[in-house]
């Protein structure tokens, strides 16, 4: 695994705009752009196969864990699940409610893989992982025998076809105030559904209505199938959650609440102790003595928020690259053993492994000078050579 500096492509900015990736130039904390043109990570085919196999294995481990929890009806308190959500978690699992995608975040030093977390509900970074970096590798001519682990686009189209009959109408929603990145991801997913032969409608979460019997859009059309780029834990806090029923098919399904919660890491460590892909993890207890170096993570948070470093039970403060958002402090924390990852030209990469359905379909990378990959970290393309 190497970080490579390569020539910038001609008119690369225009190429991003042409595919709808118009947030490539969002500023990062150091003043540079979100997309790092001219930077790429090189892998061997063996490393790619290792990452793909690990993702598929971890996904199956997660599914086994969900099945056990639901069969036993045992939901530990540190998941902080709303009681009204549990019947819908169980119903969606037992009725095999469809799932589209998710993303593992890995620490990787070229040999050892460690799972940092699983965003199985609302991962973003999809358009750049799928289309933008594929166009990059097609343009770069200076690398012989190059390829890329990236069948995300085709896999998404195939998965939509697996989920729904031709011409089924699917609504797509995100928060009205969400940034361009969220809406860009939503529009890209709409496009993959359209290419799969589905009918698509876009609206904001705030514009989902209730006609007394079912959810409707602004044209009073029934919302039967809804893809929401909006976390389930937020939905259960909304007033319209009282109307949620099994009539609406939600994507991602409600059982994904068990995987997008960082308490998942605690349960995985319990069920698969000392597994080589896992980091030691526990529900946080202020009375416990934590020897060594740890990170304290909120169970419900995104984009590296509210992460603190604990060394031999001493709070060393907020991890570099993290930021504080008070709402994420409401549901408790986990402790996860610190993992050292070597820097590449002063940059720390985190790997994103994309699951589409139940199979790993591609790899993306984000890097930064900080310990934590936050919401303004850089996106870097990748390739592998045989």
pLDDT tens digits along 278-309: 999 999 998 899 999 999 999 998 777 888 99
Beta bridge partners of 165: none
Q: Which domain holds residue 201?
A: 2-261+350-385
**Tokens (6 digits) for 280:** 């030691």
pLDDT of residue 328: 75
Do the domain assignments include residue 312? Answer: no
User: Nearest 5 degrees, angle CA 196-CA 199-CA 200?
Assistant: 100
Residue by residue, DSSP assigns 324-365 as --GGGGSS-EEEEE------BTTBEEEEEEEEETTEEEEEEE
303 domain-assigned: no
* pTM (global) more than 0.85: yes
Flag whether 247 is in a domain: yes
CA separation for the pair 230, 228 (Å, rounded): 5
**Is the residue at 337 inside a domain?**
no
**Residues in Cβ contact with 340 at an 8 Å cutoff, skipping those fewer than 6 apart:** none
Domain membership flag for residue 205: yes
In a domain, 25, yes or no: yes
Residues with pLDDT less than 70, the chain: none
Residue 363: strand pairing partners: 353
- Under DSSP, the state recorded for 384 is E
- DSSP type of residue 207: G
Q: How many domains does the chain have?
A: 1
Q: Is residue 268 part of a domain?
A: no
In the chain, count of helices (H) and strands (E)? 9, 19
**pLDDT confidence of residue 230:** 96
pLDDT at 384: 97
How many whole angstroms separate alpha carbon 289 and alpha carbon 278? 21
Structure tokens at 143: 């690398």
> Does 114 reside within a domain?
yes
């Amino acid at each position: 695994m190497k970080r490579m500096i390569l020539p910038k492509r001609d008119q690369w900015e225009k190429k991003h705009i042409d595919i709808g990736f118009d947030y490539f130039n969002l500023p990062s904390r150091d003043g540079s752009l979100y997309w790092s043109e001219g930077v790429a990570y090189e892998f061997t085919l063996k490393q790619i196969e290792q990452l793909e196999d690990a993702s598929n294995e971890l996904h199956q481990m997660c599914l086994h864990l969900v099945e056990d929890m639901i069969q036993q009806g045992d939901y530990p308190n540190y998941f902080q699940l709303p009681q009204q959500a549990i019947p819908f978690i169980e119903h969606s699992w037992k009725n095999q409610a469809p799932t589209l995608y998710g993303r593992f975040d890995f620490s990787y030093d070229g040999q050892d893989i460690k799972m940092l977390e699983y965003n199985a509900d609302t991962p973003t970074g999809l358009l750049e992982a799928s289309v933008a970096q594929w166009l990059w590798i097609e343009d770069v001519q200076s690398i012989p025998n190059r390829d890329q682990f990236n069948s995300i686009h085709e896999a998404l189209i195939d998965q939509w076809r697996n989920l729904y009959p031709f011409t089924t109408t699917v609504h797509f929603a995100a928060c009205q105030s969400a940034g361009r990145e969220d809406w860009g991801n939503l529009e890209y997913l709409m496009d993959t559904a359209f290419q799969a032969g589905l009918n698509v409608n876009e609206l904001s979460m705030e514009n989902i209505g209730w006609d007394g019997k079912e959810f409707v859009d602004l044209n009073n059309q029934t919302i039967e199938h809804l893809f929401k780029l909006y976390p389930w834990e937020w939905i259960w806090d909304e007033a319209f959650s009282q109307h949620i029923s099994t009539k609406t098919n939600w994507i991602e399904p409600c059982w994904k609440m068990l995987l997008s919660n960082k308490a998942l890491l605690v349960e995985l460590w319990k069920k698969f102790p000392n597994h080589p892909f896992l980091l030691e993890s526990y529900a946080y207890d202020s009375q416990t003595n934590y020897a060594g170096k740890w990170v304290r993570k909120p169970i419900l948070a995104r984009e590296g928020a509210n992460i603190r470093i604990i060394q031999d039970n001493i709070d060393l403060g907020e991890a570099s690259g993290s930021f504080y958002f008070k709402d994420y402090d409401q549901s408790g924390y986990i402790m996860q053993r610190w993992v050292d990852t070597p820097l590449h030209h002063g940059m720390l990469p985190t790997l994103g492994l994309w699951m589409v359905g139940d199979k790993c379909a591609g790899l993306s990378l984000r890097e930064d000078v900080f310990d934590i990959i936050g919401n303004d970290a850089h996106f870097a393309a990748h390739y592998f050579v045989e």
